[in-house]
Structure 1
Amino acid sequence: MTINTAMTNQKTNNQDSDSKNTEQHVSVGLVEITERTIFSIEKHEWGQFVYSAKGVVELTVKRKLLTAPPEFGVWLPPDTEHQAWVADHSEYYLINIDAASCTKLPNHAAIISVSDICKAILADLKRRKVETPATAKDIRLMHVLVDQMGDAVSIENFLPSSNDPTLKKILEKLYADPADNKSLLEWSLVVGCTERTLARKFDRELNMSLAKWKQRLRLSRALKMLSDGMTVQTISQTLGYSTPSAFITMFQKAMGTTPNNIRKKTSGQVNM
């Protein structure tokens, strides 16, 4: 499937008496990425919901990094300037919604939950290769999809970014290599400031320590890897943990459950 980026107002020829509103206002596409890709900064007049089916998709909006764990996607209201980063071997849904139909959705970029109903609708549309609705039935499904998104739970972004030159250099390096285990002191030597000054920058700009930010980055990546069915050993090695048990301990403290429980719950939930 490829995404339809144009919003249209086509009318269906299906004379279904149950559908009073047959205006098309949503299009859905599944994008497949084979190699790591950084897209150019863009914005569009329609709203857009990005839901990862496989791999990692992260968006930057107003200096904030929005990354969604399994069960969540990133919502972008109309005219939201953003930049996307996509890992290799990734698949993600783009749900485009015309501006007039976005009134029930947040008026700011947000991470919102994806209900089981939404997943079922997306799986059905993918199976039938439907991108834009051509029947009254599919138009009703699109309305349900938007209604479900409007009722969804929103969570705060937990991985902030900064335009401070010193912090930006560190965050970009960690972002590219979450396994980097440099200490605060080692990073202070890299960027040419004192350890104390660097600690203050993290507190002032990000409201958290280097260790906390790095843990959240690793947790975000781990959640996506688990949803893709990767083993705990592979994930712990990829993310720079000395042993799988060290990774499991971090994960349990943060999520209240084991990595294997999350993997069983999330891997393959939507057959894409």
Structure 2
Amino acid sequence: MAPNTNFFDFDSDQYPQAAVAIELSGSDQLRETPPHQHHKGQLVLALHGYITCNISDAIWIVPPRCAVWIPGQLPHSNQFSADAHACILFIDPQALNMPVKGCTLSITPMLCEMIKHLASLSQHYAIDSPTAKLVEVLLYELAQMPAEQFNFPIPPQPKLHQIANAMLANPADRSSVAEWASRYAMSERTLARLVKQHVGLTFGRWRGQLHIVLALQKLSSGDSVQRVSEELGYESVSAFITSFKKVLGCPPKQYIKAR
């Protein structure tokens, strides 16, 4: 399936094959897909630029050389940056035991090339063909990939949902937990308890997840570390670098360069 294939004309569920792939490069047709779902699971792999996936109760970011796994029958929509170049791999649920919830996967260069190569071939391959053998190895390798959490959870709980949207609208807001609680007519203790109950994180780590998601999005688009630091409300560039390194294990420039 060649690059720039019209994504909206591609129906993965019409293919009986275990896995089919499509390669997409930046164009207006890729900017955003409406909410939809399909039987096959979907692996969204960013080769360049970034992709944002809205999956039920969370926003997921796909930085270069990573992929978001979206299980079958799960409503979702995708937003592509103007410079996005991506591969999307559709997998029959019976072909591979993948996570039942959305997650981010690190993708090795070898697996990335295998997915790209599959996308360049005819998707109407026979079960005893060389392409089928490629898919067999590809799926085996995919099952070994480690999961990462490049997502910002948006809980259905009404007040937390409002707070999540407020943080998305103004990620530079550095208000304390007590200040956020006061705005939404609850105690600091109640807010902390609700976040722990519905998100599974402390308030600080929840907000930190948002900053990681947005930082990866902005850095992948070429924004400078200083600009990202300022837009996310950090007191200094060094404070942002320290926070980034704590989560991802290396400074922002090094991380993006490695990708």
Give the CA deviation at 1:138: 4.2
1:132 pairs with 2:126: no
> What is the SS of the residue equivalent to 1:208?
coil
If you compute each CA radius of gyration, which structure gives the higher value, 1 or 2?
A: 1
Aligned ranges 1:167-186 → 2 under 5 Å:
167-186=160-179
d(CA) in 2 for partners of 1:24, 1:197:
47
Corresponding residue of 2:104: 111
Give the CA deviation at 1:166: 0.7
Moved more, 164-173 or 114-123: 114-123
Out of 135, 139, 143, the position equivalent to 1:146 is: 139
Out of 188, 209, 231, the position equivalent to 2:224 is: 231
Residue identity opposite 2:98 in structure 1: L
Out of 212, 216, 222, the position equivalent to 2:205 is: 212
d(CA) in 2 for partners of 1:59, 1:7:
21
Identity of aligned residues (%): 25
d(CA) in 2 for partners of 1:9, 1:162:
35
Give the alignment's Cα RMSD to 1 decimal: 3.1
d(CA) in 2 for partners of 1:206, 1:100:
30
Q: Contact (CA 8 Å) 1:232, 1:260: kept in 2 or not?
A: yes
Q: Contact (CA 8 Å) 1:47, 1:77: kept in 2 or not?
A: yes
Corresponding residue of 1:60: 55
Residue identity opposite 1:132 in structure 2: Q
Residue identity opposite 1:248 in structure 2: I
d(CA) in 1 for partners of 2:78, 2:43:
15
1:258 pairs with 2:217: no
Q: Contact (CA 8 Å) 1:167, 1:202: kept in 2 or not?
A: yes
Residue identity opposite 2:153 in structure 1: P
In structure 2, do the counterparts of structure 1 residues 38 and 165 end up closer, same or farther at CA, with 3 Å as the change threshold? Answer: farther
**Long gaps (5+) in structure 2:** none
Per-residue CA distance 1:195-243 (angstroms, 9 max, x = gap):
3322222233223232221112111222343344432112212222232
Q: How many pairs are equivalent?
A: 248
Corresponding residue of 1:17: none
Residue identity opposite 1:243 in structure 2: S
TM-score for the superposition, normalised by structure 2: 0.78
1:245 pairs with 2:229: no
Q: Contact (CA 8 Å) 2:42, 2:90: kept in 1 or not?
A: yes
Q: Contact (CA 8 Å) 1:31, 1:94: kept in 2 or not?
A: no
TM-score for the superposition, normalised by structure 1: 0.75
Corresponding residue of 2:11: 5
Corresponding residue of 1:198: 191
d(CA) in 1 for partners of 2:257, 2:228:
15
d(CA) in 2 for partners of 1:71, 1:26:
19
Corresponding residue of 2:24: 30
d(CA) in 1 for partners of 2:247, 2:18:
42
**Long gaps (5+) in structure 1:** 11-22, 267-272
d(CA) in 1 for partners of 2:223, 2:204:
24
d(CA) in 1 for partners of 2:27, 2:176:
34
d(CA) in 2 for partners of 1:37, 1:172:
20
d(CA) in 1 for partners of 2:158, 2:186:
12
In structure 2, do the counterparts of structure 1 residues 173 and 255 end up closer, same or farther at CA, with 3 Å as the change threshold? Answer: same
Give the CA deviation at 1:110: 3.2
d(CA) in 2 for partners of 1:71, 1:38:
21
Q: Contact (CA 8 Å) 2:18, 2:92: kept in 1 or not?
A: no
